[in-house]
Amino acid sequence: MDYIIYLPIFMIVFPVIGSLIVGIAREENDKARNIMAVIVSLISALAMVAMLHYFYNFGQWELLIHQIAPGLEIKLRVEPFAVLFGGTAAILWFFAVLYSTGYMAHEHNKRRYFIFYLLSLGMTMGIALSANLLTLYLFYEFLTIFTYPLVIHEGNKEAKTAGIKYLIYSFFGAGLILIGLVLTFGNAGTLEFARGGIVDLSRGSLLQWQIAFVCFVFGFGVKAAIMPLHAWLPSAMAAPTPVSALLHAVAVVKSGVFGIVRVLYSVFGITALIGLQMGYFVAALVSITILTASIIAMQQDVLKRRLAFSTISQLGYITLGAGLFNMIGLTGGLLHLINHALLKITLFFCAGAIITVTGKKKISELNGLGKQMPLTMIAFTIAAIGMIGIPPVNGFISKWYLMQGSLESGAPIFIAVLIGSAMLNAAYFLPIVINAFFKEGDFKPAKGPEAPLSMLVPILIIIVACLVIGTNLNLTVPYLQSIAEYLFMSGGN
Amino acid sequence: MPQETISYLPLAAVLIPLFAFFMILIAQHNALWRNCWSVAGSAGTLIVVGLMYGLISEGQQVIFKIPMIVTPYNFFFNVDQFGFLFALLISFIWLLATIFALDYMNHEENRGRFFAFFMLTLSGTVGVPLAGDLLTLLLFFEIMSLASYVLVVHTQTKEAFSAGNLYLYLGVFGGMCLLTGMGLFYYSCGSLVIAPQACLLEGLNNYLVYAAVLMILGFGIKAGMVPLHIWLPRAHPVAPAPASALLSGLMIKTGAYGIFRVLSVIYTPDSSEMAADTVSPGALNLWAWTAETGYIIIWIGIATMFFGVCIALIQNNIKKLLACSSISQIGYIIMGIGTAAYLGYDGAMGVAGATYHVFNHAFFKSTLFLAAGAIVYLTGELDMRKLGGLRHKLPFTSIVVLIASLGIVGMPLFNGYASKTLLHHAIVEAYEHHHLYSLFIAEKIFTLTSAGTVCYFLKFLYFTFWRPAPDTLGEIKTEPVMMKIGMGALALSMILIGIAPYFVLHNLVGPTLNAFVLDSYLVNYLLNINLFIIEDLAAVALALGLGGVFFYLFRKIGFFNITGIPYWLGMEFYGKLVGRLAISTWGIVTLPFVMVQNYVGKQTQGLYNRMFSFLQHVDYRPGDSAVFRTVNISNIDFSMLLIVVALSIILVIAFYLRFVMI
């Protein structure tokens, strides 16, 4: 347990150093760079596993890095919620890097791509492990900056426009967060995350607290793609598919959701939330997002854009769970954080494999694809079924908990939202599957593997994981219940 | 309480066809491999289900449980006599349909896919009656729903896709209804086990009522209950014959099974409650509620059976006629379930009638669909008007169809007689229970429906088999041997069931009554009933006579020449109308928003441009960077509509919560 306490710093610093090492390899030297990138991400994932191990054996610990001024500290803490987000991201990052080596084989500027891809890993770890709002804010801003080169990777006009949009939206959100930060610090005197919250409504005016709350929700809501602040996400689909898969389905957007949950439960705390008299503000907001995004998704013909709108809708589930203000709902939201990450990354990986092998981006061009890429499409089908929320794929568990949560909070209306969204999911996912398998098209059975193995293997591993998690609930639910309990109950750090 | 035995048999019954599914997928183009695994899969399931008979006949329950730390997600099988009968029926008929399909599928494409999903569907279907809690049931129900979609769209024609879409989306919708219903039920009761729940005795709150309604709705879609039947006449005929046989013969029964379980098992007081000297007020309330719901279900059943007959009479396609007949027959079953719930503790007759009819209908409807498959395989024709004289050309099929038809119309000594008689007894008992005049009418409609059934089967037999063959019909080969085995075995079973109704009643249907809370006196009465008394025979004779008269009259007035109902009478017409109305209303309502959005966008852009040039004018030089120019308001697609709608809804909700609720 000696050097282990420095593991959180290692988690952040190692990818940064690693990205520089990867940068040594010349642009032409694909092989060396690929190997190094995979090794760096593998070591990060293993370090994460080691940290998980120590965490579950020895409990949480924290690490002060730098004190700027009294009350303003850069501080890391290993605790259940941090481990949940960090673990999910770090492990999926490994698969995504593996996948990238296959996907990027025919792309340009690979050096730049891999450097920033790994840098983003470090920043995401920083977000996950941060112990106070200031640290969170810091890494949150870094993540925006480091992912910008990935968004504009293509270098064409579409990508550049998307990049600018991404920056404007993100900094707008960050600005709001900063306002919230100042208000919180002014009124509470600390920014430290604590169980049960740091906000005491009797100190400071209620109005200021309400403003801070709204600022936080909309500020983090930009990355969490809460409508009407979602528009950057569909345009950011101009990025290469591994970026869309990992950053725009897992890391970046989930960091927004992570921020919202942190603010709700570690900064405000359940007592203050009820005292704020904002009722179902968050839940109502995301309910609209869930339904509207699903409706818009139906009209998209570009596969990645449809997936992007589906992401917007599904992120709403997680936030909805947090906004129900009860433990069952929160468990459902956190469950969906993992389940959605696994399912959506599979869907994006499949979309990327289709683009690499056939060059087709539009759904209307995919008729009969099942002949050429059966395994990919089977994985896509299973993930789509999970998205709809049909057992035995993992998506239905989170839906079940969210349902119980909405009943617990006495607002069965949210069940209608969930079911309506499930039907819409069916309406925009199943036609893709049906057309791919049953319609006649120009595709011929592939000779040899249907896609590069570095792409196919991650897809299959993750989809099997989805089925295993969906059938064996002991793997996830008890842990997430304890995390929800940790966030929910007050007392201690 | 019945004794429970832990056994791997239920799990094996589900896993064997699943294994066969994967095996077939591995080498789906190898015909021998595929055929062997198909037969092995279905035969294996039958054997495993059969092995449970030893335990079941001793009155034990076979259970298997993979426990999870977190309730309620146990992977839980609990097989009682009722579930066992269904499982046995499913696996037996599945095996015969598989054997039939071996030859039949020769004239279809994609055989590997068909047989693979045939097995996957079996895995789901047989899992439904074996399940011990509602979530496990839902799991298999969904597997069945989704896997059978592949069978429905097998031919990949335009018609198949449109029918398949309806089937799939209604199936998903039904599944979601079930999930919601189960969610509500679990929230209120904290348990999902299929058994009488103590919490229901404390009074039904709204959630529990909604849960029951949603679950009945979800199962009702699968059962083809009016008005949710619209998918059935379209989806069943387009599938290949063996699949239609199973869709119509077995899969819709899982819907009926679900309604049975919800209404007569879960929403019913415990038997210990009834054994006590005085029934508690909670139990009485629950009985009253179930009876009320049962009354509604009776009428849904009556509507379903009557409507089914009406649309069956005007069909000319054999498979469509059979599909409509399925709607009508499932109406009988739903009516039986309704009477069982309506009579509550005294509902033995309804339970037995419905169960017996499930049993019988599975046999004759799958036989008829297989025979229709044989006809289309050999003649390439399904339109009755173009067929004829098949009794000479296909004597084997003719005899099989005749046996099945005599069964379905309820001819004494054939298999449908006993169940229809029991159902008739049940509806009469329901009438005598409270002497409601409406149920008196229901009984009359029942008789009329039976007469209608006779009428359209006479039509089917006359046009297809009896009348002289039209010249257009070419030479016809004889049936392949596998088809003969499949149909022959089914016909033989039907004859045996028909001549030994008491045997079936005592050994198969009777034991299922143990799964329900019923008055033992009435159960004994039922088991010792004499089915061949003069009143019952007279009722059947009346139906047969009326049917014959109808047939004669309809032929005289040329009713059978009608090719179809006018378009504006169909459900689809109104569905499309509503859809078009909704879309245009949406357009009109959103028009002002869109106009405002365009206007505001244009003005804002203009303002920005003016400010920008103004800044340049006052010698503020932002350089030649394109960044500032590219900030285009229309680029940042703040959808004005979204914002306005979202904010107004949020405001309304916030206002409501702030001032009305608190």
Residue whose pair of structure tokens reads 């296909």 in the numeric block = B394
The string of DSSP codes covering B496-548 is HHHH-HHHHIIIIIHHHGGGS---HHHHHHHHT--S--HHHHHHHHHHHHHHH
- Contact criterion met (CB < 8 Å) for B176 and A423: yes
Q: Which two tokens stand for residue B477?
A: 């080969």
CB-based contact A291:A444 (threshold 8 Å): no
pLDDT value for A140: 92
* Core vs surface per residue B508-534: b (16+ CB within 10 A) or e: bbbbbbbbbbbeeebbeebeebeeeee
Give A273's pLDDT tier (boundaries 50, 70, 90). confident
Answer yes or no: is pLDDT of A327 > 60.
Answer: yes
Three state DSSP letters for B572-622: HHHHHHHHHHHHHHHHHHHHHHHHHHHHHHHHHHHHHHHHHHHHHHCCCCC
**Does B608 touch chain A if contact means CB atoms closer than 8 Å?**
no
pLDDT value for B630: 47
Answer yes or no: is pLDDT of A186 > 60.
Answer: yes
Answer yes or no: is pLDDT of A222 > 60.
Answer: yes
pLDDT value for A470: 85
pLDDT value for B467: 83
CB-based contact B92:B233 (threshold 8 Å): no
What mean pLDDT do residues B151-162 have? Answer: 90
Q: Which of A5-14, B556-565, B586-595 is predicted most confidently?
A: A5-14
- Contact criterion met (CB < 8 Å) for B172 and A426: yes
**Does B657 touch chain A if contact means CB atoms closer than 8 Å?**
yes
Answer yes or no: is pLDDT of B621 > 50.
Answer: no
Pick from A329, A327, A310, A309: nearest CA to A318: A329
A-B C-beta contacts closer than 8 Å: 124
pLDDT value for B336: 93
A104-139 pLDDT, tens per residue?
888 888 888 888 889 999 999 999 999 989 999 999
Distance from CA of A86 to the nearest CA of B (A): 24
Cα A53 vs. chain centroid, distance in angstroms? 23
In A, minimum Cα distance to B154 occurs at A438
**Does B642 touch chain A if contact means CB atoms closer than 8 Å?**
yes
Average pLDDT, chain A: 87
ipTM of the complex: 0.89
Answer yes or no: is pLDDT of A360 > 60.
Answer: yes
AA identity, residue A247: L
Distance from CA of A70 to the nearest CA of B (A): 38
Give B128's pLDDT tier (boundaries 50, 70, 90). very high
Residue whose pair of structure tokens reads 């169909």 in the numeric block = B570
Answer yes or no: is pLDDT of B645 > 80.
Answer: no
- Contact criterion met (CB < 8 Å) for A478 and B654: no
**Three-state DSSP class for residue A98:** helix
pLDDT value for A254: 92
Give B635's pLDDT tier (boundaries 50, 70, 90). very low
- Contact criterion met (CB < 8 Å) for B183 and A434: no
Alpha-helical segments (H) within B344-480 = 348-379, 390-393, 395-409, 415-434, 437-461
**Does B565 touch chain A if contact means CB atoms closer than 8 Å?**
no
pLDDT value for A318: 92
Region of poorest pLDDT, from A167-176, B121-130, B611-620 = B611-620
Distance from CA of B124 to the nearest CA of A (A): 12
The total of other beta-carbon atoms located within 10 Å of residue A427's CB is 17
What mean pLDDT do residues B357-362 have? Answer: 92
Q: How far is the C-alpha of B126 from the C-alpha of B436, rounded, in Å?
A: 39
The string of DSSP codes covering A377-413 is HHHHHHHHHHHHT-TTSTHHHHHHHHHHHHHHTT-TH
- Contact criterion met (CB < 8 Å) for A279 and B173: no
pLDDT value for A493: 46
**Three-state DSSP class for residue A472:** coil
**Mutate: best of B172, B182, B600, B629, partner A, most A CBs <10 A:** B172
CB-based contact B352:B509 (threshold 8 Å): yes
What mean pLDDT do residues B495-501 have? Answer: 89
Give A201's pLDDT tier (boundaries 50, 70, 90). confident
pLDDT value for B275: 67
CB-based contact A361:A414 (threshold 8 Å): no
What mean pLDDT do residues A362-389 have? Answer: 90
pLDDT value for B638: 47
End-to-end CA distance of chain A: 20
Residues 151-170 of B with CB under 8 A from A: 153, 156, 161, 164-165, 168-169
Residues 59-88 of B with CB under 8 A from A: 68-70, 73, 75
The total of other beta-carbon atoms located within 10 Å of residue B167's CB is 26
Average pLDDT, chain B: 84
User: How large is the angle between the packed helices A80-103 and A110-129, nearest 10 degrees?
Assistant: 170
Answer yes or no: is pLDDT of B626 > 60.
Answer: no
Q: How far is the C-alpha of B278 from the C-alpha of A165, rounded, in Å?
A: 73
Query: Residue B179 contacts by C-beta under 8 Å, 6 or more apart in sequence?
Result: A389, A396, A399, A400, A403, A419, B138
Answer yes or no: is pLDDT of B45 > 90.
Answer: yes
Q: How far is the C-alpha of A191 from the C-alpha of A185, rounded, in Å?
A: 6
**Does B147 touch chain A if contact means CB atoms closer than 8 Å?**
no
HSE-CB of A257 using CA atoms within 13 angstroms: 35
B61: β partners: B4
**Does B27 touch chain A if contact means CB atoms closer than 8 Å?**
no
Q: What are the domain boundaries of chain A?
A: 1-278, 286-493
Region of poorest pLDDT, from A71-85, A237-251, B61-75, B621-635 = B621-635
pLDDT value for B642: 59
**pTM (2 decimals)?**
0.88
B510-554 pLDDT, tens per residue?
888 888 888 888 888 888 888 888 888 888 888 889 988 988 888
Work out the percent of chain B whose per-residue pLDDT is above 90: 31
What mean pLDDT do residues A217-236 have? Answer: 87
pLDDT value for A6: 85
Q: How far is the C-alpha of B550 from the C-alpha of B562, rounded, in Å?
A: 16
Q: DSSP class of residue A199?
A: -
- Contact criterion met (CB < 8 Å) for A285 and B650: yes
pLDDT value for B566: 62
**Does B577 touch chain A if contact means CB atoms closer than 8 Å?**
no
Query: Which one of A160, A231, A440 has the shortest CB-CB distance to B636?
Result: A231
Query: Residue B382 contacts by C-beta under 8 Å, 6 or more apart in sequence?
Result: B237, B317, B318, B319, B372, B375, B376
Q: How far is the C-alpha of A490 from the C-alpha of B197, rounded, in Å?
A: 36
